[in-house]
Amino acid sequence: MKIIESDFSNQILEFVQNRLGNIFFFNHIAVVELNEGVHFDLENAPIIINELESYFGKSQPYGVVANRVNSYSVDLINTPSYKEKAKNLYAYGVVGHDLASKMNAEIENDFCVSEKVDYDNIYDAINNVYNKVKNSGLFSLN
């Protein structure tokens, strides 16, 4: 399910579309839906990371949910480099919608040093990622 087809669609604060896909911004989280066939690697990661930094700034903690509504690949070997570039990324989740995307989400889970990142549906992913950021104690509501 695309985020715009979900009950969260009325909470989208900003939307950005670029050659890699769509980014939907909410309070403290972003949902990224990459286009079919994209290869996410060090060369094009800054396209997404710069959009996240532009919206959230350089210090506000945030979370990202990768909503795998399309088939794409991620260069997982460079996961530490992505995290280094997205310095205030605090929580991450991946939603798989079919067998292949669920398998990819499980593989991504193995490359993350944090807790579980793979989810079966967009609702669980957004709620868990949002709660991790909200409960981090790293930001104030002022």
For 54-70, write each residue's pLDDT tens digit: 999 999 999 999 999 99
pLDDT tens by residue, 73-100 = 888 888 788 888 898 999 888 898 777 7
Cβ(108)–Cβ(41) below 8 Å:
no
pTM confidence score:
0.88
Task: Check whether 46 has a pLDDT greater than 50.
Answer: yes
Note the pLDDT of residue 139.
52
3-state SS assignment for residue 112? coil
The CA–CA distances, whole Å, from 86 to 6, 7, 10, 25, 118 equal 27, 28, 27, 16, 19
CA-CA-CA-CA dihedral for 138, 95, 100, 51, to nearest 10: -60
Of 33 and 76, the structure prediction assigns the larger pLDDT to: 33
Q: What is the DSSP string of 1-20?
A: --GGGSTTGGG--EEEE-SS
Note the pLDDT of residue 141.
44
Q: Residue 124's CB: how many other CB atoms inside 10 A? A: 13
Kindly state the percentage of the chain with pLDDT values over 70: 84
Task: Check whether 142 has a pLDDT greater than 50.
Answer: no
Ordered domains of the chain (ranges, CATH): 3-134 (3.30.750.24)
> Cα–Cα distance between 14 and 95 in angstroms, integer?
21
User: pLDDT class for 120, splitting at 50, 70, 90?
Assistant: confident
User: Nearest CA to 68 among 38, 17, 32?
Assistant: 32
User: pLDDT class for 7, splitting at 50, 70, 90?
Assistant: very high
